[in-house]
Amino acid sequence: MIYTSHLSITDKQPGSMRFRAECALACTGLLQVTPEWSPFPVHQLCSRLAIKLKRMITTLFGSSEPEKSDPKPEKNLFDRMRQAVTRTRESFSARISDIAALTRAVDESALEDLESVLLSSDLGVPTTTAILDALRDRARHQAIDGGAELRELLKQQLIAILSAPQQVVAAPSAPPKITFLVGVNGTGKTTSSGKLAAWSRAQGRTVLLCAADTFRAAAIEQLEVWAARSGVEIIKTRQGGDPAAVLFDAVSAAKSRSIDDLFVDTAGRLHTKSGLMDELDKMRRTAARLVPGAPHEVLLVMDATTGQNGLQQARQFTQSAGVTGIVLTKLDGTAKGGIAVAIARELNLPVRFVGVGEKMTDLLEFSPTEFVDSLLE
Ligand SMILES: Nc1nc2c(ncn2[C@@H]2O[C@H](COP(=O)(O)OP(=O)(O)O)[C@@H](O)[C@H]2O)c(=O)[nH]1
Ligand SMILES: [Mg+2]
C-alpha cells in the first residue's frame, strides 16, 4: 500500500521529526510525495534513516515488494531439479554406479544389491518389489547385459511408474479454476499456495489467494506476505472465522473479476479428525455450488522428509478428501526423494509439483523424465 503525504508546504521544516519520518518513508517507496516536494532533497536528507526503516519493515513483515518472478531463470528446469535431488542422487546414483561397475552379467546378487539401494531411498517395499519382479522377469527372457543396461532398465521402470497415474483435471468451462491445498500441519501448504500463485502469474494468468486456514492468525498473515511477494490479491477473514464463508467470498470475488486461478490455503488436518474433515467437505460443497465441477484440483501437500510415514497418512487422506494430485515439498532437504516413486505407484496420484526450497521460485512442475534423469545421470 502506498500512502500520500498530507504535510503542507509550510510544515516542511527540515528539523521536524514528522518531516524527517516522511522523507524516510518517501525513500522506502511507501510514501508518495507531490511535485511541490521537489525543492526538498528527500533522498539525501534521510536515506540512512530510510535504510533502517526499510530493514525494520522487512524484518517485521517480510518483503512487501513483489519478488521478481525471474522471467529468465539462470538455470533451466533440469538443472534445478538436479540441484534439488542432490542428496538423493548422491546416495542413490553412486551406489547404483557401484553395482553397475561391478556387474558384468546381472545376476541375483546384483539385483539384491539394487533392492537395498531402492529401499534406502524410500521407494518402499511394494514399489521396490514390483521393480525387482519386472527386472527378474526381463532377465529370465533376455539376460541383462551388464550394469549399463541394468541402469537403463531401472530408469525405464521408474519413469513408467511415475507417469502411470493419469488423473484428468477437469478444466472449468468458465473461470475460475479452483485449487485446494490440503494436508497435515507443517507440510508446506501455505508456502506452496504462495509459490503456486507466483507460478500461475508467471504463466500470464490472473490469480487470487484465499486464506481458508482461519485456525491460526499466523497462517493468514503468512499468506498475506506471500500474496504481497507474488503481487496477487488475497481474500481473508478474521481468525476463527468460518473457512467455508471466506471461501464463498473468494469464489464470488474470483467469478466477478474473471480470475483464472483461485488457490485456497486450508488448515492442517488429519484424516482422523472427523470435524475437520467435515469442514473440508463443506468447503467442497460451497465451491461446487458456486462453480460447477469445483474444486477442480485438490492438491495434497506432502513433506518428502517424512518418508513412508507421510505416505501412510496420505493414503488415508486421499480416500476421504478427493485428492487429485500431490505437491511434494522439501525435496531439497532429503536423501529419500525416492518417495515420489512410491507415491505415484501406491497412491496412484500424479506428483504435480515439487517444492525445492523456501523462495518464491522454488516450486517446479514435476516431470517424470527430468526427475529420473536427474537422479540417475
Ligand atoms: N526447504 C524447504 N522448506 C519448505 C518447503 N516448503 C515449505 N517449507 C518450509 O516448511 C515450513 C512449513 O511450511 P508452511 O507452508 O507454513 O506449512 P503448512 O503448515 O502446511 O502451511 C516453513 O518453514 C516453510 O518455509 C520446501 O520446498 N523446501
Ligand atoms: Mg499453513
Q: Which helix (H) or strand (E) holds 262?
A: strand 261-266
pLDDT of 359 > 50? The answer is: yes
* pLDDT at residue 71, as a whole number: 44
For cell 522487512, what's the residue? 58
* pLDDT at residue 23, as a whole number: 56
Q: Whose CA is nearest to atom 10 of ligand 1?
A: 188
User: Would you say 121 and 92 are in contact if contact means Cβ atoms under 8 Å apart?
Assistant: yes
* pLDDT at residue 28, as a whole number: 56
* Cα 137 to ligand 1 centroid, rounded to whole Å: 41
* Cα 213 to ligand 2 centroid, rounded to whole Å: 7
Q: Which ligand is the nearest neighbour of the Cα of 189?
A: 1
Q: Which ligand is the nearest neighbour of the Cα of 216?
A: 2
* Cα 7 to ligand 2 centroid, rounded to whole Å: 41
**Long-range contacts of the stretch 308-311 (C-beta < 8 A, 24+):** 308/122, 308/124, 308/339, 308/342, 310/187, 310/339, 311/124, 311/339, 311/342, 311/343, 311/346, 311/347
* Cα 332 to ligand 2 centroid, rounded to whole Å: 19
Confidence of residue 320 (pLDDT cuts 50, 70, 90): confident
pLDDT tens string 293-303: 999 999 999 99
pLDDT tens string 205-260: 999 999 999 988 899 999 999 999 999 999 999 998 999 999 999 999 999 999 99
Residue 14: DSSP 8-state: T
Atom number in ligand 1 closest to CA 191: 15
* Cα 219 to ligand 2 centroid, rounded to whole Å: 5
Q: In the numeric block, which cell numbers belong to residue 280?
A: 473440508
pLDDT tens string 6-20: 555 555 565 566 666
Most informative mutation of 215, 299, 306, 358 for ligand 1 (most atoms within 8 A of CB): 358
Most informative mutation of 191, 359, 364 for ligand 1 (most atoms within 8 A of CB): 191
Q: Is 259 helix (H, G, I), strand (E, B) or coil?
A: coil
Q: Whose CA is nearest to atom 6 of ligand 1?
A: 188
Q: Whose CA is nearest to atom 5 of ligand 1?
A: 330
Atom number in ligand 1 closest to CA 333: 1
